[in-house]
Amino acid sequence: METENETDDIKCDVCCDSPANTVECLEGIDTDLCDDCLDDLPTDDWSGELVREIYATVDGYEIGETTYENETCQCDWGGERTFNENVIQLDNGDWVNREIYGDEIMYCHDCSYIGHIDDGQYVENIEAYCCDDCADQHRMNSDRWHNRFAKVECNSFSKFPVRNYVGIEFEAECGEPMREVMTSKLYNKIAEAKDDGSLDGGTEYVTHPLRGDDIGDTVDDMCELFHQNGYEMTGNVGWHFHYEMEGLSTNRQKNVWKAVQRFDNLIRMSDEFKYFTDMQRSYACGWTDQYVSWASQWAMDKKANYTYQQHRTRATRGSEMGRYAWVNWQPMSNSENKRIEIRLYRPITYRRNYTSHKYWNQDAYTDIASDYKAFILFWNEFIRKSAYRPRSLRFRDDSHGLITLDEFSSQFSPSVRDWLMKNYTHITQQGGDI
Model pLDDT, residue 312: 47
- Do residues 118 and 150 share a domain? no
Q: Examine residue 60 and state whether it is found in any structural domain, yes or no.
A: no
- Do residues 24 and 150 share a domain? no
CA 148, CA 164: separation in Å to the nearest integer? Answer: 20
- Do residues 124 and 163 share a domain? no
Task: List, in order, residues 6 or more apart from 77 with CB less than 8 Å away.
Answer: 94, 96, 97, 101
pTM exceeds 0.75, yes or no? no
Q: Check if the beta carbon of residue 126 is closer than 8 Å to that of residue 140.
A: yes
- Do residues 214 and 120 share a domain? no
pLDDT digits (tens), the chain, 434 positions: 444 444 467 888 878 888 888 887 777 778 888 887 777 788 888 887 888 788 999 988 998 888 898 899 999 998 999 999 899 999 989 999 988 898 889 889 888 899 988 888 887 667 788 888 787 555 444 578 888 899 999 999 999 999 999 999 999 998 888 888 999 999 999 999 988 878 887 899 999 999 999 999 999 999 999 999 999 899 999 999 999 998 888 889 889 988 998 999 899 899 999 999 999 887 787 777 766 776 676 666 655 555 555 544 433 344 444 567 888 887 877 777 789 999 999 999 999 988 888 888 999 999 999 999 999 999 999 999 999 999 999 999 878 888 999 999 999 999 999 999 998 876 555 554 43
Cα angle, residue 294 at apex, residues 164 and 324 outer, rounded to 5°: 60
Q: Which of 96, 131, 166 is the last residue of a domain?
A: 131
Q: Examine residue 58 and state whether it is found in any structural domain, yes or no.
A: no
Q: Which of 70, 99, 131 is the last residue of a domain?
A: 131
- Reported as half-sphere exposure (CB side, CA atoms, 13 A), residue 98 has a value of 20
- Reported as half-sphere exposure (CB side, CA atoms, 13 A), residue 167 has a value of 22
- Do residues 244 and 170 share a domain? yes
- Do residues 286 and 340 share a domain? yes
Give the count of domains, the chain: 3
- Do residues 295 and 174 share a domain? yes
- Do residues 179 and 223 share a domain? yes
- Do residues 9 and 123 share a domain? no
- Do residues 193 and 122 share a domain? no
Each residue of 357-380: b (16+ CB within 10 Å) or e? beebeeebbbbbbebbbbbbbbbb
Cα angle, residue 406 at apex, residues 405 and 408 outer, rounded to 5°: 60
- Do residues 154 and 125 share a domain? no
Q: Examine residue 213 and state whether it is found in any structural domain, yes or no.
A: yes
- Do residues 305 and 188 share a domain? yes
CA 325, CA 329: separation in Å to the nearest integer? Answer: 9
Q: Examine residue 59 and state whether it is found in any structural domain, yes or no.
A: no
Domain interval for residue 175: 146-429
